[in-house]
């Protein structure tokens, strides 16, 4: 069934890049008197639905915040479960993603993840590397401030070695050194579960991104809410600081 918002959106004016802060797994589970891990499991299903819907309507890039540099503070049991879920998701979905011409990209330093995650991720990147369809960008062990710090360190090294000088540093150089150097900035950022904050996600990249907040808990996220977000985005006038 085609939803109300899906009928209203202009398929020719879709956002090029949608970024999602998938929040509310824990609360969704608590409301149902279930352990938090069950919320993450249901969150994985919501992620699967979202990837499928975005690929189907031909969104060029989808970025999701799967694990932040701050998420390590959670109890080890929950962190381990999330890592396990990541491997489960990739192993279960990789063939389907590949079949749908989706290219996997990782944003963040995943070298510190458990070995089984690293090999699963490397395998997915390699397998889908030549695909030309939607880029599915998963932020893992990602934090915007750490990402910017890393860029500053790289530029400092370039200056030290004489490859760059203070007056040649510009926004293009910074952009190119971010994890997202090869993709455009998000046009639309969706955050679920009612929180209205950015939680250290793509702070540089979302300078002119349109924001969409919904009360919907991530495990309940579906095509209708996605279309609602896209429709809302299409009602906005983007001026990028200029005039109409």
Contacting residues toward ligand FPP, per CB under 6 A: 22-27, 40, 43-44, 47, 66, 71, 82, 85-86, 89, 193, 218
Distances (CA, A) of 4 to 193, 210, 215: 22, 21, 18
Backbone angles phi, psi at 34, to 5 degrees: -115, 160
Which of 92, 236 has the CB closer to ligand FPP?
Answer: 92
Query: For residues 91 and 182, which CB has a smaller minimum distance to ligand FPP in the complex?
Result: 91
Q: Which two tokens stand for residue 142?
A: 């990602």
Alpha carbon separation from 75 to 4, 23, 36, 37, 109 (Å, rounded): 41, 17, 11, 11, 21
Nearer to ligand FPP, 49 or 150 (CB): 49
Cα gap 161→159, rounded to integer Å: 5
Closest CA to 172 of 204, 198, 219, 129: 204
Hey, what are 102's tokens? 């989706």
Active site (annotated) includes residue 109: no
Which residue number, 85 or 155, has a Cβ lying nearer to ligand FPP?
Answer: 85
CB 82 to ligand FPP: min, Å: 5
Give the SS3 label for residue 200: coil
Residue 71 known to be catalytic: yes
Nearest to 5 by CA among 226, 220, 227, 214: 227
- Residue 21's beta-bridge partner residues? 65, 191
2: DSSP letter: -
Length of the chain: 244
10, 23, 141, 175: the active-site residue: 23
* Distance in angstroms (rounded) separating the CA atoms of residues 181 and 168: 18
Query: Nearest distance from residue 90's CB to ligand FPP, in Å?
Result: 8
Closest to ligand FPP by CB, 75 vs 162, is: 75
Minimum separation from the CB atom of position 242 to ligand FPP (A): 36
Residue 222 C-beta: closest distance to ligand FPP, Å: 14
Q: How far is the CB of 138 from ligand FPP (least distance, A)?
A: 6
Catalytically annotated residues: 23, 71
């Amino acid at each position: 069934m085609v939803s109300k918002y899906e009928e209203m959106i202009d398929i020719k004016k879709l956002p090029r890049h949608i970024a999602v802060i998938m929040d509310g797994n824990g609360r969704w589970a608590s409301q149902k008197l279930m352990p938090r891990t069950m919320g993450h499991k249901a969150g994985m299903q919501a992620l699967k639905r979202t990837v499928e819907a975005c690929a189907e309507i031909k969104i060029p890039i989808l970025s999701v915040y799967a694990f932040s540099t701050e998420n390590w503070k959670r109890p080890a049991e929950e962190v381990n479960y999330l890592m396990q879920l990541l491997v489960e998701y990739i192993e279960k979905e990789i063939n389907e993603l590949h079949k749908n011409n989706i290219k996997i990209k990782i944003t963040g330093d995943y070298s510190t993840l458990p070995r089984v995650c690293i090999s699963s991720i490397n395998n997915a990147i390699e397998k889908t590397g030549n695909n030309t369809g939607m880029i599915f960008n998963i932020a893992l062990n990602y934090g915007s401030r750490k990402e910017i710090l890393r860029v500053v360190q790289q530029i400092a090294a370039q200056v030290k070695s004489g490859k760059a000088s203070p007056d040649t540093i510009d926004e293009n150089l910074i952009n190119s050194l971010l994890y997202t150097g090869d993709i455009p900035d998000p046009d639309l950022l969706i955050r679920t579960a009612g929180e209205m904050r950015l939680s250290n996600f793509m702070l540089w990249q979302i300078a002119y991104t349109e924001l969409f907040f919904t009360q919907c808990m991530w495990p309940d996220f579906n095509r209708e809410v996605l279309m609602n977000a896209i429709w809302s985005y299409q009602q906005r006038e983007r001026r990028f600081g200029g005039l109409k």
